[in-house]
Structures are given as C-alpha cells and as structure tokens.
Amino acid sequence: MGDQAVRVAHTEALFRDVNERIAASADRFNARDAEFVCECADPGCAERVPATLEQYEEVRSDGTHFLLSPGHELPEVERVVKQPHRRSVVVEKFNKVVARTVRRLNPRVDST
C-alpha cells in the first residue's frame, strides 16, 4: 500500500496542478465557475467536474481536500466530506502517506 499510496498522491497532485491553472485563467476572465478536471487517482480519467471558483477555493483551503467526480473516490485512502453539486464531491485523504504526500506537493502554502 505504501508505494501505491505515493503513486495515488502524485497522480492527484498532478490533476490539482491542472486545476490551479484552470482556476487562474477563469479568474482572469472574471468567470464565476469553471469545468475542472477530476482529481481522482486514475491517471487516465478525463471527467470534468463543474464548480464555482468559490467552491474550488474552499476545496483548496485544505491541503488534503480534492475535487472529484462522484464515485471516483478510492475508499482505501479518501472519504467524501461534501457534495457541492450532483456532479462533484469533495474528498478528504485519511490515509497518512497520501495526506502527507499531497500536503508536501501542495502548490499553496499550507498553514495547517
């Protein structure tokens, strides 16, 4: 599980980086919402997850929270904490290795 957890964390952190760019460009165009990419553990996932920038910012305020398409969560490492939209869920990493890795890879300063 150790290696797999690190791999999962890296994949999800990569999708998070993509979403950071989507959020930044949406913000530049004064958009209120955007279609984000699903931040799940499947590197081949091409699902789009709609969210307002406000909802997105809320997800990003915690380094262990990720925005996923419903049903894409990996029950071994994460649990759903919120469903802001019928096409989106927010998950929290409870697996220690995954949580530590995604915190380390967080592009934002993690104050927790």
Where on the chain is the footprint of Zn ion (CB under 5 A)? Answer: 38, 40, 45, 47, 69, 72
CA-to-CA distance for 111 and 90, rounded, in angstroms?
20
User: Considering the complex, what minimum distance in angstroms separates the CB of residue 25 from Zn ion?
Assistant: 21
User: Considering the complex, what minimum distance in angstroms separates the CB of residue 56 from Zn ion?
Assistant: 16
Q: Which is nearer to Zn ion, 26 or 78 (CB)?
A: 78
User: Considering the complex, what minimum distance in angstroms separates the CB of residue 45 from Zn ion?
Assistant: 3
Q: Which two tokens stand for residue 65?
A: 């929270």
Q: Which is nearer to Zn ion, 75 or 111 (CB)?
A: 75
30 φ/ψ sector (left φ>0, alpha ψ -120 to 50, else beta) = left
User: Considering the complex, what minimum distance in angstroms separates the CB of residue 15 from Zn ion?
Assistant: 8
Return phi, psi of residue 83, to 5°: -130, 90
Q: Which is nearer to Zn ion, 45 or 97 (CB)?
A: 45
Residue closest to 90 by CA, chosen among 42, 33, 43, 49: 49
The answer to whether 62 and 112 have CB atoms below 8 angstroms apart is: yes
Q: Which is nearer to Zn ion, 60 or 72 (CB)?
A: 72
